Amino acid sequence: MSKKQRKNPLSLKLDRRNFLKGSALGLAASALPLENADASFIEAFFQKHFREMNKKEIQEVLNRLEKEYSEQYKKHVTVKATKAMPGVQFGYGLDLSRCIGCRRCVYACIGENNQSRDPQIPWIQVLSFRKGDKWTDLEEADKYYNPATVPEPEHWYMPVQCQQCRHPACTRACPTQATWKEPDGIVVVDYNWCIGCRYCMAACPYGARHFNWGEPHIPDDELNPVTHYLGNRPRYKGVVEKCTFCIQRTREGRYPACVEICPVGARKFGNLLDPSSEIRYCIENKRVFRLKEELNTQPKFYYFYAT
């Protein structure tokens, strides 16, 4: 086993699952591979659920992760756990009449959110449609389009990512409560509690969750060292991840990276509870729609045509 894998508590993800199984059978102790365990591994293995930790325990976990990531990526990495701001419910708008399908948002998201470069598992997918085609079947849409230039004549584009549902189907499906909706509406995953069963992926009607089949790979010099525990910190093989509205940015009053990078201003973001926010303006003044409304997931992601 390599040093990197040994340092990574979730490289032994299956052992947590076996451990939980083993506990019921009174075999817990034998499930923990003590011959490979160092103090850091044992702490991670027995880490409490994030929502049950007190302030001191959270700080200890953040310190441990900062040390591990800094060693692994050979640079100073910070891991914060900034809480939701009171009076904030985040919402997102996407102007389909502006999107040109350039995928800059996809690549900005990969960089900002420390997504694996190999294998690639982008959180945003941009779908391409021919004008006049039936488009309601998202699963059938072309997400691998690769023309010489965009936009292509007679085409339009629809970026899709986590819709941060008010009634998320994903969180209800999770057997370990490793995923939940935060007070500001962002649906998050505790990668240390995810057991990789993928029930949430099956439950999500938008294909917004992604599974790390292999060990994620990010070159050391490309790692974004400013991370959030519930967001863009490096993930592990065997866990599920997804868009968090750039929790590490937005909880500090910044825009998500995809909003900042979009060259045509197709992406809008703000506080749904603030009557003067741009997102409220869009919802109140445009003909907005949400994907698969009939499922009553109530996405906080609104699509519209401004022109």
Please report, as ranges, the residues that interact with ligand SF4 according to CB under 6 A.
99-105, 126, 157, 159, 162-165, 168-170, 187, 204, 206, 208-209, 242, 261-262, 264, 266-267, 297
Nearer to ligand SF4, 59 or 296 (CB): 296
Tokens representing 57 are 């325990």
Nearer to ligand SF4, 42 or 202 (CB): 202
Return the residue matching tokens 């292509």. Answer: 152
Q: Residue 232: name the closest of 219, 220, 221, 245 by CA.
A: 245
Cβ atoms 93, 283 nearer than 8 A: yes
Cβ atoms 238, 212 nearer than 8 A: yes
CB of 34 to ligand SF4, least distance (A): 36
Nearer to ligand SF4, 28 or 173 (CB): 173
CB of 254 to ligand SF4, least distance (A): 17
- 117 DSSP assignment: B
CB of 163 to ligand SF4, least distance (A): 4
Cβ atoms 95, 305 nearer than 8 A: yes
Cβ atoms 256, 245 nearer than 8 A: yes
Nearer to ligand SF4, 41 or 156 (CB): 156
Strands of the sheet containing 267-271, edge to edge, are 267-271, 90-95, 301-304, 288-289
CB of 169 to ligand SF4, least distance (A): 5
SS3 159: strand
SS3 92: strand
CB of 194 to ligand SF4, least distance (A): 13
CB of 45 to ligand SF4, least distance (A): 27
Nearer to ligand SF4, 62 or 279 (CB): 279
Q: Residue 51: name the closest of 229, 204, 238 by CA.
A: 229
Nearer to ligand SF4, 159 or 231 (CB): 159
Cβ atoms 19, 34 nearer than 8 A: no
CB of 266 to ligand SF4, least distance (A): 4
CB of 247 to ligand SF4, least distance (A): 13
- In whole angstroms, give the CA distance from residue 44 to residue 79: 15
CB-count exposure of residue 204 (10 Å: 0-12, 13-18, 19+): buried
Nearer to ligand SF4, 68 or 190 (CB): 190
CA distances from 161 to 122, 206, 236 (A): 9, 8, 21
Nearer to ligand SF4, 102 or 218 (CB): 102
- In whole angstroms, give the CA distance from residue 252 to residue 133: 41
